[in-house]
Structure 1
Amino acid sequence: MGYSIKRKRRDSYRYTAMYKDPGGVYRSAGAFPTKKRADQEWKAAETKVAESRGSHLVRGRQTFRKYTEERWLPNLAVEVTTRENYTYALYAHLMGFFEHKRMLDVYADDVRAWLRGLKDAGMSAHSRKYCKILLSTIFNCAVADEVIAVNPCASVKMEKVAPKPLPIITPEQYQQFHDALPDEQSRLLVEVAIETGVRWGELTELRPKDIDSKTRTLTVARAVVQINKKFHPTGWRFHVKDYPKNGEWRAFKIGPRLCDRINAFVTDQRIAKSDLLFAFQDEARPQKMATPTPTELGSTEPNDKGRTYQHGTMSAYTAGKCRCEHCRRTMADYRASRREQGKDDPRQARNWETDGHIPRRWFRENVIKPALAKAELDIDIRMHMLRHAHASWLLNGGADLMVVKTRLGHASITTTERYLHTLDNADQTALDAFEAVRYRSIPKQPSGNDVKRADTSTSSEEGAQQLLAQLTEIQSKLAKIVG
């Protein structure tokens, strides 16, 4: 049973409420100015102990930082990439606001104030939603660990985040992009991506043993992820998982032309059954893009002395402090030429740490971007867009929705249904159906072809009448001659 302790404090007295926790240890429920208030508090604390909620009074006093670093993060059972993303978001957006707060002192108002601060800082609604989900995940674990009684995020509502429309490239744009790729491997890699719809991690982990040439079946059994070394189980950059994203293997047919292209590539490159189909080859370098002349680029903003300089010149970079793409490229070309002449210490070339897998960033910087510049496309093609295009083209061609779901490896058919709204003819079909009902009581206006046919018909009737008049006149003349 609890009790109150009378303590003298200068010229007054304070009463400490003591209660017995679930382990039988007496703990303090706080200090109060009157004995009556102290008695009320230790009785309330023991009531919570009887309701199996008394542990929150002790465990909830730990700070947010202590709980997340000592309890939540070490015991987090998620994918390595998820752990990496959670950790970055935790220390970038959550820890600064909540780290010194006690777990039991975090309320819904604190969560709303934190979200308001993120919004004022310019964070997008989608990112704020992600951070709020992460915070709610932490507090849900705290509730399960009996650190707090309720999740303060549960009653916090957020504005709706409208999903962005999926960007779908056309077959013409894809072909233009494909033709601009620099080598055979990159072209085949892009072909496999567009014709199978596999994810980047599944694509770069493909091996010849995953493709059955006789049945033309491709099996997606593994995926590779690229992460920071400190999140890798063995301190490396690439981590191969023995299962794809949704945790299940999937097998599906591929076209005969693609199968023949893969077989020819494997034979030509002498790739073993267990080797990577697409291995990292650091031979491709960014192609030097044609830079417009300085007169075409215009002038920089005035510097602190009020002077302006032509974009794309070294003066704009050094004196004008301009860091646009053209000024930076001009300075980079100048420094490269100096190193080639041996006038400056040559900078050591960047080495990509890889076990043979193709780094996503390397492929984008050294293959995709130069190809887009060469093709002069007005769309920024990314590898995941090829997966979107694969799904959209399948549905546009009449493929079954469940078949598309299986090929893409979606866990829910709702995810696959998003691609139904990307069909080129979907809106036009609905518009034709509406007009058929809306204007059925209105006489159809003649089209241009109808008017042309009507004009032709009128001309024919007039010609026939003229011919009949001529024949009548000839008959009358013949009758006079015979008579």
Structure 2
Amino acid sequence: MGKRANGEGTVFERKDRPGSFRGEFTYRNPDTGEVDTKKFNGKSRKEVLAAGKVWLDARESGLVSSANTITLGEWIDRWLADYAKPRVRIKTYEKYEGGLRLYIKPRLGAVRLAALREPDITRVFNTLLESGSAKVDKMGNHIGLAPITVKNVRRALCMCLDQAVKSGLLRRNVAKDTKAPKVEKQQVKALTAEQAKALVKAAKDWNETVHIAILLALSTGMRRGELFGLHWQEVDLKNGTVTVNQSVTTAGGKIIWTKPKTESSNRKIPLPPDVVAELKKFKAWQTEQRLKMGDKWENTSIVVANMFGRVTHPTSFHSGYFKPLLKKAGIPSDVKFHDLRHTHATLLLQQGVNVKVVAERLGHSKATMTMDVYSHVMPDMQEAAVQVLTGMFSG
């Protein structure tokens, strides 16, 4: 039996496919009287109604009527502004915007949306892989983009055209017919226990704030934005925990406060007693510095604050402190701050800590994700299991 919701359309459960729904939506042009009808299928009434509403809104705005003339470049701009920017994290938006602007619009932007074909998109992806970078080799030829970059561009284009289908501009998403570049899985980089100790010692001998940042990164596995966004209110020195409920990132060189990366990223992380002791010392030192700075110290409670009490800029910290610190500690210069998070997880797994516990500390939604990222540690754990079993059942 059909059901009309808000006058938007008729939605009914299909008799030939129980659990599947179909909706029929009608739009009447107020100027010409022309009537247009479109059908949508979905797994629920809500899903079908949502698709119908997108189409009706597009008709109201005049977008669908221009389906035969709108170009891919024009639709990319609209998708970025109306669909991507309001819904995704700022860094994700910048990735989408940059990839489509730099690599798709110059090559396919003038093509009518309705005229897009899979071979044309595939040709662009192949070109990007072969010579899409602005960098040149010794012969002056442009080198290819990394497969992961092209894969990300393809993902953004697929999402963009998915919305074009939902908006009634395309019958199907031809970008999905292209083949994603094969990306070799990169093994995460982690410091050894000796290197981690050397890094902490070098930091302690050099700078109090850098020391606490390195110590917290290695002992909690927090992401860089989570660490630099940590307030003293979220540090429980009595019970020895830190609570992660916000993060900082940058856009256009400015600091932006955001929610943690995922729902599971909101978490409470227990701290080792020696780290708690160092935090107490650091808090006392920071209080002295705040009194010395007087009015120059901003009224914040940031843990890893700069000399004026402000949020430490992640990029400035990396270039101004972390890179020099690596040199002081005798650690390879290609190590990144995020590798301290990998070090935290790797060292715990190597010591036999349950992978579910490690996943919770990292803020992973599932332990399988942790196992996938740190699969390089698993052979060592298997060997340890064999050593435990050796002789256990012998007479």
TM-score, normalisation: structure 2: 0.72
Per-residue CA deviation, residues 142-171 of structure 1 (Å, 9 max, x unaligned), is 111111110011221234212101112101
Q: Following the alignment from structure 1 to structure 2, what is the Cα–Cα distance between the partners of residues 375 and 278?
A: 21
Amino acid in the other structure paired with 2:29:
G
2:155 corresponds in structure 1 to 133
CA distance in 1, matches of 2:99, 2:184: 22
Report if the CA contact (8 A) 2:195-2:331 is conserved.
yes
Cα distance, 1:84 vs structure 2: 1.8
Aligned to 1:406: 360
Q: Which amino acid aligns with 1:128?
A: V
Q: Amino acid of the residue matched to residue 366 of structure 1?
A: G
Closer, same or farther in 2 for the Cα pair 1:168/1:423, shift >3 Å?
farther
Partner SS state of residue 224, structure 1 = strand
Query: Residue 279 of structure 2 corresponds to which residue in structure 1?
Result: 262
Q: Measure how far apart 1:381 and its partner are.
A: 2.3
Deviation at 1:212, TM superposition (A): 1.2
Q: Which amino acid aligns with 1:167?
A: K
The answer as to 2:29 corresponding to 1:23 is yes
In 1, Cα distance between equivalents of 2:161 and 2:70: 13
Aligned-partner Cα distance in 2 for 1:71–1:378: 42
CA contact (8 A) 1:276 1:356 kept: yes
- Specify the alignment match of 2:23 in structure 1: none
Q: CA deviation at 1:51?
A: 5.7
Task: Tell me what 2:126 maps to.
Answer: 116
- The answer to whether the aligner puts 1:366 opposite 2:320 as a matched pair is yes
Aligned to 1:209: 233
Identify the match of residue 72 of structure 2 among 61, 64, 79: 64
Shift of 1:223: 0.5
Distance 1:178 1:60, change over 3 A: farther
Match of 1:393 in 2: 347
Which is worse superposed, 197-206 or 59-68? 59-68
Q: Distance in 1 between matches of 2:316 and 2:336?
A: 13
Partner of 2:175: 153
8 Å contact kept, 2:222–2:362: yes
Distance in 2 of aligned mates of 1:257 and 1:413: 27
1:84 aligns with 2:94: yes
Structure 1 residue 405 displacement after superposition: 1.2
User: Could you say which structure has the larger radius of gyration?
Assistant: 1
- The one-letter amino acid paired with 1:69 is D
Aligned residues with identical type, % of pairs: 23
- Residue 377 (structure 1) aligned to one of 306, 324, 331: 331
CA contact (8 A) 1:394 1:404 kept: yes
Structure 1 residues 293-308: aligned runs within 5 Å: none
Distance 1:159 1:86, change over 3 A: closer
User: Contact between 1:395 and 1:420, CA under 8 Å: does it hold in 2?
Assistant: no
Check conservation: 2:157, 2:175, Cα contact below 8 A: yes
Equivalents in 2 of 1:24, 1:107: separation in Å?
A: 34
Choose which of 283, 286, 304 in structure 2 pairs with 1:278: 304
Q: How does 1:411-450 map to 2 (within 5 A)?
A: 411-417=365-371, 418-422=373-377, 425-426=380-381, 428=383
Unmatched 5+ stretches in structure 1? 1-20, 28-45, 230-236, 283-354, 437-483
Could you tell me how far apart the structure 2 residues matched to 1:372 and 1:213 are?
29
Q: Where do 1:330-345 residues align within 5 Å? A: none
Gaps of 5+ in 2: 1-26, 41-54, 132-143, 291-298
Q: Corresponding residue for 1:477?
A: none
Residue-by-residue CA offset, 1:398-433 (whole Å, 9 max, x unaligned): 222221111111123332112242258347559989
Q: Deviations over 1:317-339 (max 9, x none)?
A: xxxxxxxxxxxxxxxxxxxxxxx
User: Is 1:247 the counterpart of 2:258 in the alignment?
Assistant: no
For residues 269 and 100 of structure 1, what CA distance do their matches in structure 2 show? Answer: 57
Find the residue that maps to 2:262 and give its secondary structure: coil
Distance 1:420 1:124 in 2: 23
After TM superposition, give the deviation of residue 24 of structure 1 in Å. Answer: 8.3
Mapped to 2, the partners of 1:390 and 1:419 lie a distance apart of 11
Deviations 1:98-120 (A, max 9, x none): 21111101111111111111012
Alpha-carbon separation, structure 2, partners of 1:380 and 1:427: 30
Aligned partners of 2:76 and 2:100 also within 8 Å: no
State the secondary structure of the residue aligned to 2:322.
Answer: helix
d(CA) in 1 for partners of 2:199 and 2:38?
66
